[in-house]
Amino acid sequence: MEEKITLLKQLLAKIDDLDHTSALLGWDQQVYLPQAGAEERAELLATISEITHNLSVSDELGSLLRDVKPFVDQLDPDSDDACLIKVAQRKFDKNTKIPVDLVVDFSRTTAIAHFAWQEAREKNDFKLFEPHLEKIVELVKSMAECFKPYDHIYDPMLDMFEPGVKTQEVNEIFSQLRPHQVELIKIISQQPQVDDSFLGQKFSDQKQWDFGILVAEKFGMTWDRSRQDRSVHPFTTSFGQNDVRITTRIYEDLPMSALFSTMHEAGHALYELGFDPKYRRTPLSSSASSAFHESQARLWENVIGRSKEFWHHFYPILQSYFPAQLENVPELSFYKAINKVEPSLIRVEADEATYNLHVMIRFEIEKSLMEGQISVTHLPDMWNTLMKEYLNITPLNDSDGVLQDVHWSGGMFGYFPTYALGNILSIQLWDKINYDVSDLSDKIAGGDFVELLGWLQKNVHHYGAKYEPNELIQKLTGSRINPIPYINYLINKYSDIYNF
């Protein structure tokens, strides 16, 4: 039996290597690839996806999984081997439902669509992206159909990113969350608004970059295992446990955008860099779910990065980088400015009080597309209607509206809800961390993140994909995904900032 286990792990390692090869091609596509290379890159990605899929559904893999099942049944369900084989079986069962031709078509289509999205965004013209998105939606629907019967057509796509979580559960969580956030925004709108006018000045591109690097290093990033580059839309990707890449984007007149992007992506990277080394080249060397991934990014970006304690340490340093812009701005005024609540067009620049509403808009749109209630042609109109309904603002153009996110060009239907679920998980984890780590606020105010990162590595990062999201959060906090702590966090934070 040990021989069978070894053969299984060797085959899974090959699949993992191919996944990371595809990730490397995808990273280069978004960072360095010249536009003329789009179609050739699409073919490369399609070929890799075909090889990977064929290996992932091979008779050899299926036979090995069947052979080791009696061995697994005798193991402690929490043992590494039992969890590894459970996750591998789950992936095999899902992959075998999807025809290889569909996988290849999906890979090729999304690779080409990425550049179509970039061009459409630059030219502010949804029509340039529309035919590509129409094909992607049809492919996503075809993929979902492979998983019948289901409770909702959106379930299979959600499950790709959030194992074990159903559309109905997300509906219930959002139904609980939305009225509280709408009420909070209403209360804040009745208070005197925070002054953030000083952030409208020009801030040096290079100094923004340098300060972001400094902060990432203080969090725990090490550049012998990672690097940062620039891209149209910030993202994190991994080619292995010792090669995790992040990107950011910089605007001279939006000085906090690059910093919070870097903090966000550093949170993702630290998660990837923290997987148990013994899981390397196995399905366990991955996140518990996209929401857990987002919980790490949003925790470092917002819960820590927008806190009073964080800026008590870092604001004098930031002032030294930008004395002309900030030397006469008090620390408290700066703290309030970076937490200003104001409905805005762009999700990635949204404040914590309004951010989840952006996610809910995309969730409603994706469900409607999957259900066939709307067509891609009507997407800009639905987008604008929901922006008005949820946030009381309307985009003036496609680039600030329906074209602002990269996810649909990659066929990532089912991903958006995980951003809001990640926010929720970040506070459930934060409450537990504060219970376990003494004087955490003082440590952050002193620029010391060692114990905080150590807690996350031990209790979250270390496990990788060993547990499903609800299993892991239950293990850590005694509760499933629960929006109440997050609601309380928002109320406490903003009642202090806006004095209500």
Residues marked active site are found at 265
Reported as half-sphere exposure (CB side, CA atoms, 13 A), residue 239 has a value of 14
**Sign for the pseudo-dihedral over CA of 250, 414, 238, 410:** negative
Q: Which residues pair with 230 in a beta bridge?
A: 248
Closest CA to 419 of 431, 405, 438, 439: 405
The answer to whether the CB of 370 falls within 8 A of the CB of 157 is: yes
**What order do you get walking across the sheet with 226-230 strand by strand?**
226-230, 244-248, 236-238
| Residue 41, burial from CB neighbour count under 10 angstroms (0-12, 13-18, 19+) | buried
What does the alpha-carbon distance between residue 314 and residue 217 come to, in Å, rounded to a whole number?
13
Instruction: Output the six-digit token pair for 319.
Output: 């002032």
C-alpha torsion angle, residues 215, 219, 224, 227 (rounded to 10): -50
Query: What are the Cα distances from residue 93, in Å, to 13, 73, 97, 167, 339?
Result: 18, 18, 7, 20, 45
At 422, list the tokens: 């990640």
Cα 28 to the chain's mean position, in Å? 19
In order, the DSSP letters of 116-148 are HHHHHHHHT-GGGTHHHHHHHHHHHHHHHHTT-
Q: How far is CA 416 from the centre of its chain?
A: 8
Contacts of 347 (CB under 8 A, 6+ apart): 355, 358, 359, 362, 404, 405
- Distance (Å, whole) CA 360 – CA 357: 5
